[in-house]
């Protein structure tokens, strides 16, 4: 830990400077970060100009993130999908963040490709466009042509990006360690878990083979769909740092003029897109988590194409049933059913008052069931659901928020193409399918088999467990471990008080000895200084030293 702190010291100081610049002295002064700031610098804060306070606190948090760079931007973008953890105003600011960066030199890109392929680029590609199609914080994309004639795109990871991301992730862990108490006091109960989850996500994003596997998985699921296509990844030409994918031409799904020119029905395209996405959620339980218009293309024959599988969400079967149950309960105007399915969906759901929870859900149902079809909005519903999740501190799977966000994006696309587009009407038949699947004979037998297996395992291990407990009781070896949490700070304070009391008592003892030593009768060998025995001077010196220690400890406590 000490080694990591030293290696990250310069970067941590930079973070502190940025926090101070945007008016977050409280984050620094109320955490261990204050130790990194000199007394002179602390005084200068008190006289600094505060024009930055003309903006809101949430805007200033976004400014801090923007200045700290790509890794922090990606963390904030990931957190913008977690309204169960952050207030709505902060999420709105995080959604404004852009991670686009200038492309790097094409010569560097060629070098990386050749190193990963283990051969010259001319032995693989007959053409390679120098100008990238796009660039981002992790890598950039070039169009190329294989020697066999196929048009492809090549994603190339930025040089040294893995080392930079790992350094910033190490820094994030260190910052969380230094500010954990402050973050918890401000409502972020599990900051370390958030950074751990983000680290896993980033490590996966840095490995292009993961994206290739996702594409192959989707291709297999949709191999019989004539209206939907996923580009082919060339796994044999790809690695963790480069990804070669089939190039697919088409227009953005929102390019209504081009669709009409191709004599395609925009309404039919919108319906097909929503149908494909809902099958991903409610049938397969795996879905493309970023269906913005740039990632959804339409071919001249009307086939829809999804690109960029860097962000994929997954739901387990039970999560899929619970998520569908929330919408089914709403359609049936059954607040209790919605509440029960929310509890099934949540990873942890300690709801103190279920009646109040059901009442809030009932208000939501009443608000939306009285709306006209034209007034109903997936965006409004998602916002209301996310507020309820945040207010009741429900820890639901992150995939749920990715789905809500994706449905809002798809609704926006649908309304561009389809004047009567209604997301709820598309979702309704899938609810009926989910109910049929959940209560099908096959699923009931599967659940019964799983429950039976668990019960059998319990029965098999129970006698041995009981025998072991009884044996420990008979030997007097059974111990109960009780762990008290939340008393660490109190124990540290008590320990400091005891230490200071002991030092003070020793100092008083030496002071008393100094006074008594003046009354003593000593041998002629005793040395005197200014008429006072040397032993008295020694005793007074020790007393003064001990009182100096107490003074230093008291001053340090006031600064802390």
524 within domain boundaries: yes
pTM: 0.66
- Is residue 27 domain-shared with residue 110, that is, in the same domain? no
Strands 228-229 and 304-306: parallel
CB within 8 Å of 538: residues ≥ 6 apart: none
388 within a domain of the structure (yes/no)? yes
Assess whether 295 and 430 both reside in one domain: yes
* Domain co-membership, 315 together with 236: no
Answer whether 323's CB lies under 8 Å from 313's CB. Answer: no
How far is 202 from 338, CA to CA, in rounded Å? 34
Q: What is the pLDDT of residue 51?
A: 46
Rounded Cα–Cα distance for residues 360 and 104 (Å):
51
Give catalytic residues, as residue numbers. 290
Q: Could you say which residues of the chain have pLDDT below 50?
A: 1-3, 42-53
Query: Do residue 299 and residue 406 come from a single domain?
Result: yes
> DSSP readout, 34-101?
GGGS-HHHHHHHTTS--GGGGS-HHHHHHHHHHHH-HHHHHHHHHHTT-TTTS-HHHHHHHTT-----
Of residues 402, 218, 438, the one with CA closest to residue 311 = 402
Determine, yes or no, domain membership for 484.
no
Query: Residue 382 domain-assigned?
Result: yes
Widest distance between CA atoms in the chain: 121
CA dist 349 and 343 (Å) reads 6
The C-alpha atoms of residue 94 and residue 63 are separated, in whole angstroms, by: 10
d(CA 314, CA 289): 9
Given this model, what pLDDT does residue 50 score? 43
Beta-bridge mates of residue 347: none
pLDDT score for 508: 82
The C-alpha angle 118, 124, 128, rounded to 5 degrees, equals: 110
Asked if residue 75 and residue 153 are part of one domain, the reply reads no
User: What's the domain count of the chain?
Assistant: 5
- My answer on whether 414 and 401 are in the same domain is yes
**Residue 277 within any structural domain of the chain:** yes
Its domain, for residue 551, covers 489-559
Q: What whole-number distance in Å separates Cα of residue 156 and Cα of residue 243?
A: 7
Which residue is associated with the tokens 């096959």? 442
- Burial readout 394-411 (b: 16 or more C-beta within 10 A, e: otherwise): bbbbbbbbbbbbbbbbbb
- Phi, then psi, of 352 in degrees rounded to 5: -65, -30
CA distance 398 to 379: 18
DSSP 360-428: HHHHHHHHHHTS-GGG--HHHHHHHHHHHHHHTT-B--HHHHHHHHHHHHHHHHHHHH-TT--HHHHHH
Q: With helix as H, strand as E and coil as C, how does 323-367 read?
A: HHHHHHHHHCCCHHHHHHHHHHHCCECCCCCHHHHHHHHHHHHHH
Q: Are residues 105 and 42 in the same domain?
A: no
Whether residue 284 is found in the same domain as residue 344? yes
Position 444 in a domain: no
350 and 212 inside one domain:
no
Q: What is the CATH number of the domain that holds 175?
A: 3.30.200
Q: What is the pLDDT of residue 82?
A: 66
Residue 146's pLDDT is: 96
Is residue 225 included in any domain, yes or no? no
Q: Are residues 160 and 214 in the same domain?
A: yes
Q: Give residue 21's pLDDT.
A: 64
Same domain as 277, residue 149: no
User: Which of 249, 245, 226 shows the shortest CA–CA distance to 235?
Assistant: 245
Collapsing DSSP states into helix, strand and coil, what is residue 149?
Answer: coil
Q: Round to whole Å and give the CA distance between 26 and 186.
A: 12
pLDDT of res. 156: 96
Residues 6 or more apart whose CB falls under 8 angstroms from that of 131 comprise 106, 142
Last residue of a domain, one of 204, 239, 267: 204
Residue 257 lies in a domain: yes
For residues 160 and 192, membership in a common domain is answered with no
């Amino acid at each position: 830990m000490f080694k990591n702190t030293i290696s990250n010291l310069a970067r941590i100081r930079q973070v502190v400077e940025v926090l101070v610049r945007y008016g977050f002295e409280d984050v620094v002064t109320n955490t261990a970060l204050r130790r990194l700031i000199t007394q002179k610098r602390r005084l200068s804060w008190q006289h600094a100009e505060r024009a930055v306070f003309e903006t809101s606190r949430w805007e200033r948090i976004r400014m801090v993130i923007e200045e700290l760079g790509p890794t922090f931007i990606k963390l904030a973008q990931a957190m913008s999908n977690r309204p169960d953890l952050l207030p709505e105003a902060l999420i709105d600011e995080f959604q404004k963040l852009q991670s686009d960066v200038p492309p790097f030199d094409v010569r560097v890109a060629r070098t990386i490709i050749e190193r990963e392929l283990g051969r010259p680029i001319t032995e693989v590609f007959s053409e390679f466009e120098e100008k990238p199609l796009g660039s981002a914080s992790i890598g950039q994309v070039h169009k190329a042509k294989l020697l066999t004639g196929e048009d492809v795109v090549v994603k190339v990871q930025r040089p040294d990006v893995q080392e930079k991301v790992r350094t910033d992730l190490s820094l994030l862990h260190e910052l969380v360690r230094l500010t954990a108490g402050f973050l918890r006091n401000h409502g972020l109960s599990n900051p370390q878990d958030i950074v751990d989850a983000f680290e896993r996500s980033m490590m996966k994003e840095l490995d292009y083979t993961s994206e290739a596997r996702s594409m192959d998985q989707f291709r297999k699921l949709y191999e019989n769909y004539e209206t939907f296509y996923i580009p082919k990844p060339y796994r044999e030409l790809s690695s963790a740092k480069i990804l070669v994918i089939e190039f697919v031409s088409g227009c953005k799904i929102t390019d209504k003029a081009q669709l009409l020119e191709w004599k395609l029905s925009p309404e039919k395209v919108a319906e097909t897109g929503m149908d494909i996405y809902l099958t991903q959620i409610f049938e397969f339980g795996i879905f493309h988590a970023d269906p913005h218009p740039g990632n959804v293309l339409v071919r001249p024959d009307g086939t829809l194409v999804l690109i960029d599988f860097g962000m994929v969400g997954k739901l387990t079967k039970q999560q899929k049933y619970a998520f569908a149950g929330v919408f089914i309960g709403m359609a049936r105007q059954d607040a209790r059913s919605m509440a029960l399915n929310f509890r099934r969906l949540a990873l942890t759901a300690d709801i103190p008052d279920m009646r109040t929870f059901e009442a809030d859900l009932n208000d939501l149902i009443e608000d939306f069931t009285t709306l006209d079809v034209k007034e109903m909005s997936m965006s409004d519903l998602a916002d209301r659901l996310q507020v309820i999740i945040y207010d009741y501190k429900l820890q639901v799977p992150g995939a749920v928020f990715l789905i809500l966000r994706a449905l809002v994006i798809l609704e926006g696309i649908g309304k561009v193409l389809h004047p009567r587009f209604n997301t709820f009407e598309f979702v309704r038949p899938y609810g009926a399918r989910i109910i049929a699947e959940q209560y099908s004979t096959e699923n009931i037998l599967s659940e019964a088999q799983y429950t039976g297996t668990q019960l059998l395992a319990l029965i098999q291990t129970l006698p041995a467990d009981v025998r072991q407990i009884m044996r420990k009781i008979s030997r007097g070896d059974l111990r109960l471990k009780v762990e008290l949490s939340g008393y660490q700070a109190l124990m540290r304070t008590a320990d400091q008080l005891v230490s200071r009391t002991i030092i003070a008592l020793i100092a008083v003892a030496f002071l008393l000895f100094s006074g008594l030593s003046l009354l003593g009768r000593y041998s002629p060998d005793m040395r005197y200084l200014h008429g006072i025995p040397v032993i008295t001077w020694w005793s007074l010196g020790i007393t003064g030293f001990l009182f100096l220690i107490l003074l230093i400890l008291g001053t340090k406590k006031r600064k802390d």
